[in-house]
Amino acid sequence: MIRAAVFAGGLLLAGPAAAAHPDLTIGVSSFPSTLHPAIDPDLIKFYVLGFSDRPVTTFDASGKLLCLLCTRIPSVANGDAVPEGAGMAVTYRFKPGLTWGDGAPLGAADLAFTARVGRDPNSGFANTHTWAIVSRVDVIDPLTAVMHFTELNYQFDQLGELLPAHLEESVFDRAAGPGEYARQSFYARDPTNAGLYNGPYRITGYDSGSRVVLERNANWHGKRPYFDRVIVKSIGNTAALQTNLLSGDVDMIPGEGVGLTLDQVLALQKQTPDQFVYAYKPNLTYTHIDLQLDNPILADVRVRRALLMGIDRQSMVDRLMGGRVPVANGFVNPIEPTYDADVAKYPFDPDRARALLKEAGWTPGDDGICRNGAGDRLSLEFSTSSGVRARELLQQVMQSEWRHIGVETIIRNEPARTLFGETLKHRAFKGMAMFAWSSGIESTPRQILHSGQIPTAANNWGGGDYTDFHNATMDADIDAMERELDPEKRRTLWLEMQKIYSEQLPVLPLFFGSEAHVWPPWLKGLVPTGTNAPTTLWAEDWYAE
């Protein structure tokens, strides 16, 4: 559960000059922990894969569900989704002529293989439930597959990236034991293999932690992309990233959680209002603090509530983000149709926060830091992605505000690749971890809130319930919501899930997001989506003018 940057440098050249250099360099603030589309989900990976690996379906910028690899969205009305026992049978029809980057055909066999890997708990897939309820996939012909669901699922018409069976099947069949497939996969051993990719570009260069180079895919059958090469350059420090933009070392910086922070873009626009195009769009990104509920301090909900009431989130939003984003009171964005405005809220109230800590057995010592009856200090480690200036500033503000209510925080930041690829994945953080994730439209919260998604060695550290939150009612609501096809009945379940979340606070909600893009005036065709579908899914429409 748990988006990069490009800029035009130096003197901005006119259209013909830009056209003479048909490479596009994008600056981003992080680097993918893996290129495997189903393992270790993070924003930067899907931003990069948007150029090279298309999902079967996705939402566009208007919120409409589209087929990218299929001929039509399956539905009950068109007969492609039909009841079957307690579940349903859903037919996917692939477009003719689709191939992987090495020319191998793409279609029904790849869907069947992806489902087989996804059902295996040793695969390391971040979300195994989606595939666990698929009993089998029947390959009717090379372009037609029928997925048999063991239960109803409201997202039956949404299907993400597929795995290339002609490459990965033999690797998966040889894998023995947890984690072995992920280590031996072509995505890990040979990330520039053309057969891994089906988009307008394929990855031809991969310098771990540094850059990804993409070139036109000769076996792409869609619109020919304008740029010969796209270079995604990782610059972990966002201040340095901005410097690279101003110096012309990168052409653009995307605003999808993988580039500059909102406050930096606002400041940059004041500094250089005419040098770049600045685009802002509300999105479904959710910045929050995951709590290690195995920590005895954080296991007490009174402490969790005190922590939230001890920080002035509205002032943070106003000062650091120009008031452009809303404070979050839960995990559902106000722009979502399932949003509940009546959930429990925790306004800034240091006095009430101190009272809650006292109720929980914590009283201030001589240095102002609380201690319990055993003399233990109320001290918590606090982590986020290193080099992301806005989050580091937020940390410092919160560290100061928490100290005023008697809570000591020790900052231990890590590079994004380590934080997401190791620390969170293995639930190795000891206190609090601040990061953002972006959901799709009415995306199920199973991956982050269902107890079946708590990462463990037994499930090969899959899932995204990093907090160890387990609530029987939440589990039941998620199960029921996913099986409910009636939108109004689903909404009732969504309301209850938000109520549980706001009362139990397994996570400290901070604020929702707004994309802040920066690109050169000569770059055309880029349309911010505001959803978890990256702009790069339409990179073939980008061009220089």
pLDDT in tens, 304-362: 999 999 999 999 999 888 888 999 999 999 988 899 999 999 999 999 999 999 999 99
pTM metric for this prediction: 0.76
| DSSP, residue by residue, 8-51 | --SSPP-HHHHHTS-EEEEEES---S---TTSS--HHHHHHHHH
Check whether domain 284-514 has CATH 3.10.105.10, yes or no: yes
Q: Is 195 helix (H, G, I), strand (E, B) or coil?
A: helix
Nearest CA to 290 out of 462, 510, 508 is that of 508
C-alpha–C-alpha distance, residues 448 and 185, integer Å: 26
**What's the whole-number mean pLDDT along residues 472-494?**
96
Do the beta carbons of residue 448 and residue 465 sit within 8 Å?
yes
Question: What is the sign of the dihedral through the CA atoms of 167, 30, 466 and 341?
Answer: negative
Nearest to 196 by CA among 217, 174, 211: 217
pLDDT band of 16, cuts 50, 70, 90:
very low
Contacts of 171 (CB under 8 A, 6+ apart): 181, 184, 185, 186
Distance CA 100, CA 438 (A): 28
Q: Are 126 and 194 in contact (CB under 8 A)?
A: no
pLDDT, the chain, mean: 92
Residue type at position 540: E
C-alpha R_g of the chain:
23
Fold type of domain 5-56+175-282+515-544: D-Maltodextrin-Binding Protein; domain 2 (3.40.190)
Q: In angstroms, rounded to a whole number, what is the distance separating the alpha carbons of residues 271 and 467?
A: 41
Q: Which residues contact 297 (CB under 8 A, 6 or more apart)?
A: 303, 378, 380, 431
Distance of alpha carbon 496 from alpha carbon 474, whole angstroms: 8
pLDDT(18) > 50: no
CATH topology of domain 58-170: Dipeptide-binding Protein; domain 1 (3.90.76)
Distance (Å, whole) CA 239 – CA 92: 46
Tell whether the model's pLDDT for residue 414 goes beyond 90.
yes
User: For the chain, what is the largest distance between any 2 Cα atoms, rounded to a whole number of angstroms?
Assistant: 75
Reported as a pLDDT band with limits 50, 70 and 90, residue 99 is very high
Q: For 132-154, what is each residue's pLDDT tens digit?
A: 999 999 999 999 999 999 999 99
For the chain, the domains span: 5-56+175-282+515-544, 58-170, 284-514
pLDDT at 387: 85
Q: What is the pLDDT of residues 182-192, one digit of tens each?
A: 999 999 999 99
**From start to end of 253-362, where are the E strands?**
277-291
Torsion of CA 269, 533, 168, 228, to 10 degrees: -50
Under 8 Å between Cβ of 124 and 184: no
From residue 104, alpha-carbon distances to 113, 159, 293, 325, 466 in Å are 15, 21, 47, 45, 38
CA–CA gap between residue 13 and residue 21 (Å, rounded): 11
Confidence at residue 21, expressed as pLDDT on a 0 to 100 scale: 57
Q: Provide the token pair at 236.
A: 């972990």
Question: What is the C-alpha to C-alpha distance for residues 49 and 198, in angstroms, rounded to an integer?
Answer: 10
Confidence of residue 177 (pLDDT cuts 50, 70, 90): confident
Helix (H) or strand (E) holding 447: helix 446-449
